[in-house]
Amino acid sequence: MKILISFLLTFFIIACAQTRYTHSTKNINEFESAKYECEKIAKHQAKESGSPDNPFVITDKTKLCLQLNGWTPAK
């Protein structure tokens, strides 16, 4: 039970800390579309690697996808 509570607390803290992304030629509306597509890809990749519904794997793979598509975290 303690592990579940720790996991949920950690996930909540991570979920609250949103990263802003920028792109040299695209706007925020295009970001939302890119993020949606990257999340779909990340969920599929997580499922294929044996970690379906793992929020940490999905988040990491989504961030990687966005960066590969030219989106960089704002400073």
pLDDT of residue 69: 96
Say what the pTM is.
0.72
Indicate the residue type of 63.
Answer: K
pLDDT in the model for residue 5: 72
The predicted pLDDT at position 58 comes to: 95
CA distance 71 to 65: 9
Question: How far is 48 from 23, CA to CA, in rounded Å?
Answer: 29
Q: How far apart are CA 2 and CA 30, in angstroms?
A: 40
Between CA 5 and CA 3 the distance in angstroms is 5
pLDDT, one tens digit per residue, over 23-47 is 999 998 999 999 999 999 999 999 9
Domain ranges for the chain, please list them.
25-75
